[in-house]
Amino acid sequence: MPYHSNTKIFVQNLEVQASIGVHPHEYESTQPIIISVELDMGAMPAPDDDRLAETLDYALVAQIAAEFAQEAHVQLVETLATRIANWALDTDKRVIACTVRIAKPHALINAEFAGVEIHLSRDA
């Protein structure tokens, strides 16, 4: 019986201190944001040699997401999410789609989180 696979690589709920937001007080200090990234690798073959080079390292995904979040002030979470998703699609041709969710825990008084989720995919 043949099997069909679909591989997803993810980093979920990465907490990063970032300078982000449109309000004057958000320019004055950093605040926590929560970043989740899911990479749809499609039918990526299983590693033959059990080596990290045969896949996309989720530690690298976390590192790049944190670097983008910390490199400079960003006004919109949409901008940051798009930068991360574009990096994933541009960096590894095996990535066929990327979903990035960014939540700001202190954005609204009566909500646990507020934020955005974007999904980018390659043209078929």
Residues noted as catalytic: 104
Distance CA 120, CA 46 (A): 24
Q: Strand order of the sheet with strand 31-42?
A: 7-18, 31-42, 97-104, 114-121
Tell me the C-alpha distance between 80 and 66, whole Å.
10
